[in-house]
Amino acid sequence: MGAGAGARAQQLSDKLQNAVGHWQVMNSDGSPGGKVDTYLTDGKLFGRVTEVRPGRTPKDVCDKCSGEYKNQLILGMVIMRNFHPEADDWVEGTVVDPENGKQYKGKIWAVGKDSLKMRGYVGISLLGRTETWTRIP
């Protein structure tokens, strides 16, 4: 994180700052998925895959993705982009699901210091799903 991003992070509420860190993605069945690091760039929240989900290898690519994500390595892929702060939530960013290649609108919020909720949806927020991520110390 550059010095500029660190300075901006200090202006954010504790709840917004709690969204920055290392996260274990939890699948809908409760099993662990991959791992993601979230970080700030120019005051916006981004997330990069740091470990692929069980059953994948570090050489796997996003063959179902389109555009710039097509055939990109999943490991290292920036799957969350351009979330900006609104009250205590990160909103109006995009999330790519490397499993199905689809891109969703999203909203992210911290629950305490060790849990992150990420809602991905198409169209309106009611038509989507929410994942819970657990902070990795």
Query: Is the entire prediction scored with pTM above 0.85?
Result: yes
Return the structure tokens found at 60.
Answer: 């796997």
Domains and CATH numbers, the chain: 3-135 (2.40.128.520)
Convert the pLDDT of each residue in 31-41 to its tens digit. 999 999 999 99
Nearest to 85 by CA among 108, 104, 119, 105: 108
pLDDT of 28: 78
Q: Which of 47, 21, 49 is nearest to 35 (CA)?
A: 49
Does residue 54 contact residue 60 with C-beta atoms inside 8 Å? Answer: no
8 pLDDT band, cuts 50/70/90, is very low
How distant, in Å, are the alpha carbons of 5, 30, 57, 79, 89 from that of 83?
14, 25, 28, 11, 9
DSSP 90-117: EEEEEEE-TTT--EEEEEEEEETTTEEE
pLDDT score of 4: 43
Quick: pLDDT tens for 37-86: 999 999 999 999 999 999 999 999 999 999 999 999 999 999 999 999 99
pLDDT of residue 29: 85
* pLDDT value for 111: 95
Q: Give me the pLDDT at residue 5, please.
A: 44
